[in-house]
């Protein structure tokens, strides 16, 4: 395309979604003084391109009363539950969970036995047998 006797070309870059990684964001912790001249406040700095301005209004602090009330409620609930001291360590918690799962499985088996023999559909499907050691391969029972 020609414009005022010159050739103009334009191309559109493809956004790959990684532009945010290359943007350098400066985090100024102390916003009371200018980071360029260090002496002036930000609103009065002569090096500020926008010129002098009114200092920003201070934000009001939010009250934290609601947070404290919810913490008290949580403490009361934990006292009512009565946590088991045996579950203090991770290994004990895992062992406790495994025991609960095994109890649930035994209850399910007892219910199935009480309900009667398995249907013909159940006998057609291959069942996965748990082996004594860990392996990626699954052994099928007959």
- pLDDT for 130-142, tens place per residue? 666 665 666 665 5
Residue 112 lies in a domain: no
- pLDDT for 27-69, tens place per residue? 767 767 777 676 666 667 777 777 677 777 777 877 776 655 5
Question: Strand pairing of 139-141 and 2-3?
Answer: unpaired
Residue 30 lies in a domain: yes
Determine phi and psi for 140, rounding to 5 degrees: -100, 135
Report the number of distinct structural domains present in the chain: 1
Domain of 43 in residue numbering reads as: 24-50
């Amino acid at each position: 395309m020609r414009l005022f006797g010159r050739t103009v070309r334009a191309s559109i870059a493809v956004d790959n979604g990684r532009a945010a990684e290359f943007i350098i964001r400066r985090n100024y912790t102390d916003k009371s003084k200018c980071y360029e001249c260090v002496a002036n406040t930000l609103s009065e700095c002569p090096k500020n391109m926008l010129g002098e301005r009114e200092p920003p209004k201070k934000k009001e602090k939010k009250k934290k009363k609601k947070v404290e009330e919810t913490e008290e409620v949580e403490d009361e609930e934990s006292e009512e539950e009565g946590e088991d001291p045996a579950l203090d360590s991770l290994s004990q918690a895992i062992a406790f969970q495994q025991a609960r799962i095994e109890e649930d499985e035994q209850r399910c088996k007892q219910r199935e036995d009480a309900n009667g023999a398995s249907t013909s559909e159940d006998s057609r499907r291959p069942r996965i047998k748990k082996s004594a050691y860990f392996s990626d391969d699954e052994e099928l029972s007959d």
